[in-house]
Amino acid sequence: MFITFEGPDGCGKTTQITLLARYLSGQGIAVCHTREPGGTSIGEQVRSILHSQDNQEMVSQAEILLYSASRAQLVAEKIIPALTEGTTVLCDRYYDSTLAYQGYGRQLDLETLHLITEFATQGLKPDLTLYLDIDPEAGLRRRQIDQAAEWNRLDALALDFHRRVHEGYHRLMEAEPDRWVKVDAARPVEVIQTEIQQIVIEKLNR
Ligand code: TYD
């Protein structure tokens, strides 16, 4: 079983996936918990290039290829071998992040992104994708209040970008309703975790 977690920045994916990995291990289920970008030695090196503040001049094409390079390495080195030996894989982001952020957010050509993704993943699709749903506007406003900052042009741009990402995720869910399950991420951590555990156990038992 290959399970991925998606959602906007700050939706709490990382906390939830860590709790789920601990729960499944406690149930005697073999689990591989990994993340994107990263998850392998090469992938983590690529992650530091992608996240470095020194790389402001990075163009969108390079950004996509770097995310995809990290993904290709992760699929070949870790995910496929784990699935082959019957381990359940939990991945914090996968190609849906590229479609949502680079495709819908940055408005790059979706067909090209699908082709690059197919090549990078060897066509490997998740069995289940959990979407942790929070309102991007509320998230950004919360951040703004935290920083006691003025609402400025950049914030407006950022809001537009995050709205498009949010909208993109919803289009992706509509296109493949059997693969996605949306979870309301605006609730307490334990409530969300209980729901996620039920969804995953039901899927594993099917
Ligand atoms: P990360 O620190 O892992 O944040 P999060 O906890 O929100 O996952 O940073 C990942 C960032 O990279 C996040 O803003 C989404 C972005 N991203 C893309 O734009 N495209 C991709 O293909 C992936 C995997 C991530």
The predicted-structure confidence for 90-112, as pLDDT tens digits, reads as follows: 999 999 999 999 999 999 999 99
pLDDT of residue 158: 84
CB-ligand 1 contact for 36 (6 Å cutoff): yes
Indicate whether 182 pLDDT > 60: yes
Classify 176 as helix, strand or coil.
coil
CA-nearest residue for atom 12, ligand 1, is 37
Which ligand 1 atom lies nearest to the CA of residue 11? 7
User: What is the pLDDT, as a whole number, of residue 148?
Assistant: 52
Assess whether the C-beta atom of 2 lies below 6 angstroms from ligand 1. Answer: no
Tokens matching residue 47: 């992650």
101 CB within 6 A, ligand 1: yes
- Mean pLDDT, rounded, for 41-70: 95
Distance 70 CA to ligand 1 centre (A): 12
pLDDT of 146 reads 58
Count the domains in the chain.
Answer: 1
To the question of pTM greater than 0.85 for the whole model, the response is yes
pLDDT at 35 over 60: yes
What are the tens digits of pLDDT across the range 138-177? 766 666 665 555 556 666 678 889 999 999 999 999 999 9
Q: Which pair of tokens denotes residue 78?
A: 């870790």
20-29, 31-40, 77-86, 141-150: least confident range: 141-150
CA of 48 to the centre of ligand 1 (A): 12
Average pLDDT over residues 30-35: 98
Residue-number span of the structural domain to which 158 is assigned: 2-204
CA of 206 to the centre of ligand 1 (A): 31
SS3 content of the chain, % helix, strand, coil (to 5): 60, 15, 25
Mutate to test the pocket of ligand 1, among 4, 9, 55, 91 (most ligand atoms within 8 A of CB): 9
Domain of residue 47, CATH code: 3.40.50.300
Distance 104 CA to ligand 1 centre (A): 14
Range with the lowest mean pLDDT among 34-43, 76-85, 141-150?
Answer: 141-150
Q: Give the span between the Cα atoms of 163 and 171, in whole angstroms.
A: 12
Phi, psi of 176 (to 5 degrees): -135, 65
